[in-house]
Every structure is written in structure tokens, then in C-alpha cells.
Amino acid sequence: MADPLKIAYSPCPNDTFVFHAWAHGLVPDAPPLDVTFADIDITNGMAERGELDVLKVSYAVLPWVLGEYALLPCGGALGRGCGPLVLTREAGSPADLAGRTVAVPSERSTAYLLFRLWAASEVPGGVGRIEVLPFHEIMPAVRDGRVDAGLVIHEARFTYQDYGLSCLADMGEHWEKTTGLPIPLGAIIAKRSLGAPTLRRIAEAARTSVRMAWDDPAASRGYVLSHAQEMDESVADQHIGLYVNDFTDDLGEDGYAAVRGLLTRAAAEGLVPPLGPDALDFPA
């Protein structure tokens, strides 16, 4: 039996839903997995250090890791109507953020790139200080007045009103309005050193795993909820519905255009290194 591939992905419902079948040995002929659960800011760091074989990372980190890793054409998270939100204690306008302190979950995240691109066009003079906080601390920090605003992702879209907060702006809405493209959030990458045949096998296993999850959603239910950090079951379902879609099955032309568009715009703002012309290519 081949040694398991070392993989890391988040405990969020979209990742556990996608990888359930593969992680449990249900995908025919797929290589076995040795799974580590970690939030995406941690997996981004793992990728930069080249630590594991396969990783779920933010698209924002790709310019730093594509020398060692290849982007898989499936398994990740892109979509529409699912972008990060900027939250404040009271309703206002983007101009209110000028010179203010904003909490973000990571400076190597797609959410942060979308936020910076939005702020460059919508916040006169730009925001003030950026404070990096763990994702679960951001909404309480905004609520308690420790920061002026917070950039949130994932299930916070469904729960921020529980904290008495207002949505100042939707980063995904701005991205879609200005580009017409889906929002690129999380990518699956695998080490190039595994070789083209193994990379293609990994991609096929990821694609089969998500299709098996769609065919029998109940099969993954226990796995999803056991890792969902006390998330309400209905919120978990909404989370999966938003982030697991046709782009998870295959990036396609629009998916690749969205990824290249984000990273090209971010490079023009000096936020990431520029991509090489073949950086996103997957071994045929």
C-alpha cells in the first residue's frame, strides 16, 4: 500500500464535505490521505514552507508557492454572492473607514486582497491600521469597540447580526460588479515533485470525492458537523451551498480568469509578486 499523502484542509463544512469520501477511503483507486485540520492562515504558512503534499490555501498565497506547488483545477472554493464582508457597529459609508483600524483574519488571504482592492477605490485616503486577529475574535472585537471595523469570511455572513453588527460593504459584490467574474477564495494545491501522473490522480480523486458528496449528502453529515465548531446545522448547509458548486468540480474558463484577474490586479497594487505566464497551468 502506498504511503498516505499528507494533506491539510480546514474544519469548515465546505472542506469536510468535499473531502469526506476521499478521507474515508471511499473513492476508488484514490491514494490514501493523512489529514491535518488547520485554519487557512495556518495552511498558507505550511505551503510557504513546503511542508505537506496537498493543501487547501488561499488564492492570495499562490504567487509565493507556485514554484513548488501546482494549482489543482478542482476541489477549491469560488463562487458568486459569497464574498467577505466589512462589518461595523453602526451603519455607515465606506468613507467612514478613512484612517480607521480594521481587523482582518490574515494579510495573506483572498479576503484581504479583495478588501485592499475595494478600499483603494472606495475609501478616500485609505484605511488606517490593519490588525490581524484570529477569525473567531474579529466580530467580538468590533462589537466591543476594540477595532473600528472587521473583515469577516465564511459563516460570519450568516451570523454577524447576532453580534449586533452592520454590514458596511460586501467585498464579493464589489468584485463581481467591477469584473463580472466569480470570487476566488480557496485553492487546492499539490507538490509538483509528486510528478504529473500523481498530480492528475490527485485531481481526479478530489473531483470524484465532491461528486460523491453531492450524490449522497447524508453520508458526510456526521463528519461535517463533528468538525463544524458548534455551527448550527442549517448554517453548515448554507455554508456548503455557497462554497461547493460547479467551480469546485472544475475551475473552467471563468474560474481561471477570476484567479488570474485577482492576482494581476493585486500585483498592480504591489500586494503580491507578479505571476509568470504559465504559473496556473496544470500538467496535462
What residues are annotated to the active site?
A: 154
Q: CA dist 117 to 44, 157, 261, Å?
A: 20, 20, 12
Distant-in-sequence contacts of 49-54, Cβ < 8 A, 24+ apart: 50/191, 51/6, 52/6, 52/7, 52/8, 53/5, 53/6, 53/7, 53/190, 53/191, 53/194, 54/5, 54/6, 54/7, 54/8, 54/188, 54/189, 54/190, 54/191, 54/202
SS3 276: coil
C-alpha span between 158 and 176 (Å, rounded): 20
